[in-house]
Amino acid sequence: MTKFINLHTHKFSNLLDVIEVVNQYPWEFDASIPNYSIGIHPWYIDENRLESDLEIIKEKLQLNECLALGECGLDKRIEIPLDLQISVFKKQLEIVKQTNKPIVLHCVAAYVEVITIKREMKIENPMIIHGFSKNEQVAKSLLNNGFYLSFGKYLLRNPDLEKVFTFAPENQVLLETDTIEESIYQVYEKAASIKGISVEEMKTIVFTNFSRIFS
């Protein structure tokens, strides 16, 4: 049976038919979670803790149950200076480059910077923009630069995003719940109805992408 994939969630629900990538932070790590990503979110950068956070990320990325780096990235709508955010982001990318593990990205109003950093650092690891909510133009430039787009909350909330989801190539999309109350099943139902396909077909598309990205 093909399982549902939840690319990014903040709560572990332990459902038998779902593979969840649970978001973890180095400073509050929970070893009981079977599959997770780990990273320093730009909102929570703490310079006093930075070195130990990076050490923990390095250590966990060696483990099989750690599926990805993240969420990490850039956010231009917060108080933390962009220079500091970029520096912390790049330090995490240097660590993950030693592996073939994907990167789950938080990106707000900094798509140009993220694309530039990917190019400059020659990042080969798959990079996934989680919770994608932007227009077709932004989607196009990310897709053309080899990014994957993960859809969830905004697919349920914003009808304008349906056009972007329809247009995105099937081999570059994933689905997630992030912090919403709705279940991953509801996200799949919505995604399948937008594409005009069955939930089973939607599961196969996402599972195939996930298996390839997280090989």
Q: How many CB atoms lie within 10 A of CB 136?
A: 15
Spatial separation of the C-alpha atoms in residues 186 and 210, rounded to whole Å? 19
10 is in an annotated binding site: no
Residue with tokens 């130990």: 52
41 is in an annotated binding site: no
71 is in an annotated binding site: yes
DSSP per residue, the chain: -PPEEEEEESS----TTEEEEEEE-GGG--TT-SSEEE---GGG--TTTHHHHHHHHHHHTTSTTEEEEEEEEEETTSSS-HHHHHHHHHHHHHHHTTS---EEEEEES-HHHHHHHHHHTT--S-EEETT----HHHHHHHHHTT-EEEE-HHHHH-TTHHHHHHHS-GGGEEE--BT-SS-HHHHHHHHHHHHTS-HHHHHHHHHHHHHHHT-
Strands 36-38 and 4-9: unpaired
Residue with tokens 């919505």: 190
Binding site, annotated residues:
71, 106, 130, 178
Q: Which residues carry a binding-site annotation for a divalent metal cation?
A: 71, 106, 130, 178
